[in-house]
A and B are shown apart, each in its own frame.
Chain A
Amino acid sequence: MRREAPRWPTRVAGVATAAAVFVVGVALLARGVAASNAAVGLSDAAGDALAVPRWLYVATGGAAIGASALLAGFVTDRGFVAAIHRWRRDLGGGRVRRAASTAAGVVGVALVASVIYRGFVGPQVSTVNFAVVVTFAGGRAGLTMATYLVGNVWPAVNPLRALDRLPTRIVAYPDRLGRWPALAGILLLVWVETTTGVTSRPDVLATAVVAYAVVAVAGAILVGGDAWVRNADPIATAFRFYGRVAPLAWEGGRLTASIPGMRLVPDVDPDGNVAGRDEGGNAADRLVSGLDDVAIAVALVWELTFSGFVTTEQGAAAVRAVAAVGIPPVAIYATLFLGGFAVFYGAFLGAARVATHRIRTTRSPRSLAVAFAPSLLIVAAGYHLAHYFGFFLSLSPSLAAALASPLSAPANPTVFTLPAWVSALNIAFVLGGHLVAIWVAHSTAYRLFPSRLQAIRSQYPFVLVMIGYTAVSLWLISLPTASPAFLG
């Protein structure tokens, strides 16, 4: 490709600005945590004292992401890149599927019924109540981890899965709405989990589960079960998105294994078109087909960052400081939640816009954002592991005891105390998620652009955004935990 004459003043200015932003960002973090290093030493919570200054630890994480992106650029063989994300191993067929699906459905109905029953009837102490332990340790942590590590089992386990066979439909689902209702549902569920008492009061949790079921049935009757599950059900949507990361899936009636995360590389037809939402048979294979799906992927990343932030000492202190001025805490949390989501979403779309202008492509920023959003799901999976792995591990004996005897509460629920090296695992999960996401984005870029240099250069703005996400996430998981201010 003919190279343009380098415009030195512009490029120097660009590099200088980026370097200045980086230095200022690190300095801000350093100043902000100078007070907290003392707090880390004094507290006996999960955060252990870092052996290096926090700014150095965060900068190293960001540098790891940038370095991996550069290293991914060394791989330029289109055939090799394609071979990795196309690899499939066929594992078996349909007879086992029906039996397993029925068994899973029975288990799902039994579990949810028990959650509702024990939530209302059982002891109203969250650590021994079947409902709370199973929903959060089993569902929020364990089932989600199984979804992105092994495969999506929610369509089988969902006790309301018969909804999509309901014959009633009052109105046709307006296509213009797309999956925005699912996004709203996910944000609402995270809000409920954070600010209401569902994690500590079993009766509130049981009420919430019943309310969700009522809304799901009403929605299915209103727009048709299939349209509801595909477009508006937040839990089914979240599990479907996470499930794409997993190596196992049913494709064409057969269980197939792929390399983890590689099913997120979008299909591109022989002309180079990324298939849209309304195109016939292959529409079901397209996970992300519009900006609403991009927003869902960003929301899955953001909600972990948000809940991570409010459960740290610094987060709680910040909220208390703002509340002392006179703003009601709910308003503070709402602003933080929605404002932070808007920042994360805007950063991703901004990266798409910058990439489009820099690499002289005729693809629109919207199509770039849609094509690169699936790699965010691997980032979300890594963040989820980092935030919930220790939680799940330490509560696993409680979960086992609750599942073994659902109708009687254990007298002495046991939890595991985690060794210090588990926090190092969390850092590995955050970085590992980003590394696999970088590879998926690299593969996607190779499918989108005819020039390999275009593909490599298209990644720079996205890598900068990912470094930003990494810095925030690494900073959060190094902070000592505390209960959120004014909540629960």
Chain B
Amino acid sequence: MTDDNATSSPRDTDESPTADAAYVCSDCSRAFHTADLRVLHRGVRHPNALDAAEQEAYREVYREEERAIRSFRIRALGVLVVLYFGLLFLYVVYAS
């Protein structure tokens, strides 16, 4: 299949993560669990092999990913603020 053949041994007891990965990249035979992941992979790794429809699909998935990343950033910022002020108050209480 992919890189695992060079390093896996017959004793490898990891369950195969590719068992239900139905979306296969036509250029490198790597398998993915969702169509979006395959589109992203092809856009990043094989940009010259994309036709117009695939390019549009890639842009659409990329925009959705940007939205998800923005949401992650807001949540991460929230956690950072809580961490900062939490530690600040702990130090006020215990280090004064």
Residues of A within 8 A of B (CB): 1-3, 51-53, 56, 59-60, 63, 66-67, 70-71, 73-74, 76, 78, 176, 270-279, 289-290, 353, 356, 360-367, 370, 450-454, 456
Contacts and interface: CB of A to CB of B under 8 A. Distances in A.
Contacts of B41: 272, 450
Given A66-B83, A362-B31, A366-B7, A456 B72 contact: yes
Given A1-B64, A277-B6, A289-B7, A56 B79 contact: no
Nearest to B90: A56
Given A276-B7, A456-B72, 12 more contacts: A51-B95, A52-B91, A56-B95, A63-B87, A73-B73, A74-B73, A270-B46, A271-B28, A271-B45, A364-B4, A450-B43, A456-B69
B55 to A, nearest CB: 15
B51 interface: no
B65 A367 contact: no
A362 B17 contact: yes
A362 B68 CA distance: 21
Contacts of B46: 270
A364 to B, nearest CB: 5
A367 B83 contact: no
Given A78-B44, A452-B69, A278 B32 contact: no
A228 B33 CA distance: 42
A454 B36 CA distance: 12
Interface in B18-32: 18, 21, 27-28, 30-32
B94 A279 contact: no
Contacts of A63: 83, 87
Q: Is the interface of B mostly helix, strand, loop or mixed?
A: helix
Contacts of A289: 7
Nearest to A451: B40
A2 B36 contact: yes
Contacts of B40: 1, 450-451
A171 B44 CA distance: 46
B93 to A, nearest CB: 9
A270 B37 contact: no
B50 interface: no
Contacts of A270: 45-46
A452 B79 contact: no
A126 B65 CA distance: 62
B28 A272 contact: yes
12 contacts: A1-B64, A1-B68, A67-B84, A73-B73, A176-B9, A271-B28, A271-B30, A356-B17, A360-B34, A361-B33, A364-B12, A367-B4
Contacts of B87: 59-60, 63
A1 B61 contact: yes
B29 to A, nearest CB: 8
A71 B90 contact: no
Given A3-B68, A272-B41, A367 B3 contact: yes
